[in-house]
Amino acid sequence: MKFLWPSAFIALALIPLLILLFMYVQRHRRRFAVRFSSLSLVRAALPAQSRVRRYLPMALFFLALTVLVVSLARPVAVTRVPAGRATVMLVLDVSSSMTQNDISPSRLGAAKQAALGFIDKQKDTNQVGIVAFASIAQLVQTPSTDPEKLSKAIRTLTTGRGTAIGDGIVTALDTIASFNQSAGAKVTPTAEGEYQPDIIVLLTDGIANAGVDPLEAAQQAKDSRVRVYTIGYGTEAGPAGRNMMGRNRNFGMDVGIDKESLQTIASMTGGEYYSASSASELQKVFDSLPTVLVTREETLEISVVFAALAALLVTGAVLLSQLWHPLP
C-alpha cells in the first residue's frame, strides 16, 4: 500500500494529546465528585463492566480519528494488470505423422480439441492467430478474438508431408509484426530480459526436415523479444507399439520428437518447453500456458474505504455511549 499524501500523518501527533486531555478531564471530574467520600470504597462498589462502558466509546472515537487520518493520507492499492492486448500465435504441426493414432482419435484430432479448449478460455484482451506447417508454413487465421473464426480454422486443418518448424516460427513472427503495425500498436523498446506481450505456442511431434533452421528462427524471435513456448507431442512408440525413433528423416517420416531443439528454442526466447504424450496431458499443457506475460502497475485510491470505516467506528462509539450513558 502506498500513500499519495503521506504528510497527512503529521496529524497523528494530535491524537495522543487528545487522549491526554481526555484523561485529564476524567481525573479532574472524579476529584470533585468523590471529594467527600472514599475512592477505594467507590471503586469496590462499581460493577466490573463499568470501566469498559466508560472508556470503550472514547477508545472507538480515537480509533476512528486514527483511521480518518489514514484516509486523509489518500492510500492507494497497487495492482498489476495486463499491459494491453496480446497476440498469441498457435503454430501447429500438420505433418503426415500427425495422423498417427497412438493418441486417440489421432495426434491431429487430439491437438485440435486441445487448441479449441485453449481458444474458448482466452479473454477478449488476447487475439489468437493460427499458423500450420508441414513442408511449408501457412497463416491459416490472422489474429482475432472471434471464437467462431478461430474454431473453423482449427477444424479445417489437414496434413501434408515434411516438417518446417523454423518456417512456422518465422511466419508467426511476421504475422505479429504486420498485425501490430496495421493495428497501430505501439511497440515499446524493451530492456534486456524483458519481452513483448505477444507469444508463440509451437506444437510439433517431429524433427525439422525442411525450411529455415529452427534455431535461426529462434534467434529471430529472441531479437524481436517474443517468447516461444514449445510442446513436444506424441509417444515414442507410435501406433500399435511400433518404435518410430529409427526412421529415415530423408523421406519426411516421423523420427520422434526433437526434444533438445525444442528446449533450446524455448530457452533462447524466454519461453518454456512442455511435453505431452496423451490427449489429457496436452490439454493440461494448453491450460497451463501463460497468456498474460507483460503487466503494468495500476493504482486504485481506497481512501473511501478508510473513511467509511472511520464513520462506522464513530457511529459505534455514539451508539454505545447513548446505550450506556443516555443523555437526560
CATH number where 151 lies: 3.40.50.410
Give the domain extent around 156. Answer: 84-293
Q: Which pTM does this prediction carry?
A: 0.61
Residues 104, 208 within the same domain = yes
Q: How confident is the model at residue 324 (pLDDT cuts 50, 70, 90)?
A: confident
Q: What is the DSSP string of 4-59?
A: S-GGGGGGGGHHHHHHHHHHHHHHHHHHHHTTTS-HHHHHHHS-TTHHHHHHHHHH
* pLDDT tens string 39-90: 555 555 555 456 677 778 778 888 888 888 888 888 887 765 555 567 899 9
Residues 289 and 153 occupy one common structural domain: yes
Residues 74 and 92 in one domain: no
Output the pLDDT for position 19: 79
35 with 153, same domain: the answer is no
Task: Kindly calculate the radius of gyration of the chain based on its CA atoms and give it in whole angstroms.
Answer: 34
> 8: pLDDT confidence band, cut at 50, 70 and 90?
confident
Range from 68-72, 96-100, 223-227, 273-277 carrying the lowest mean pLDDT = 68-72
The pLDDT, as a whole number, for residue 155 is 93
Give me the pLDDT at residue 138, please.
93
Residue 188: predicted pLDDT: 53
CA distances in angstroms from 312 to 212, 308, 317, listed in the order given: 68, 6, 9
Average pLDDT over residues 248-269: 73
Q: Are residues 108 and 239 in the same domain?
A: yes
Instruction: Provide the percentage of residues in the chain whose pLDDT is more than 90.
Output: 29
Does one domain contain both 257 and 311?
no
CB contact set of 23 (below 8 Å; sequence gap of 6+):
none
| pLDDT tier for residue 93 given thresholds of 50, 70 and 90 | very high
Same structural domain, 134 and 59: no
pLDDT digits (tens, 9 = 90+) for 279-322: 888 889 888 887 655 555 566 778 888 888 888 888 887 887 77
Residue 250: which pLDDT band, with cuts at 50, 70 and 90? very low
| One domain for residues 161 and 186 | yes
- Domains of the chain: total: 2
- Residue 262 burial (CB < 10 Å; 0-12/13-18/19+)? buried
pLDDT at 326 over 90: no
Q: 252 with 171, same domain?
A: yes
- 184, pLDDT greater than 50: yes
Residue 247 predicted with pLDDT over 60:
no
Please enumerate in sequence order all residues whose Cβ is within 8 A of that of 35, keeping only pairs 6 or more positions apart, or say none: none
Tell me whether strands 126-133 and 137-144 are parallel, antiparallel or unpaired. antiparallel
The b-or-e profile of 120-131 (16+ CB within 10 A means b, else e) is: eebeeebbbbbb
Co-location of 54 and 141 in the same domain? no
59 and 160 part of one domain:
no
Claim to verify: residue 22 and residue 132 sit in the same structural domain:
no
Q: What is the pLDDT of residue 298?
A: 63
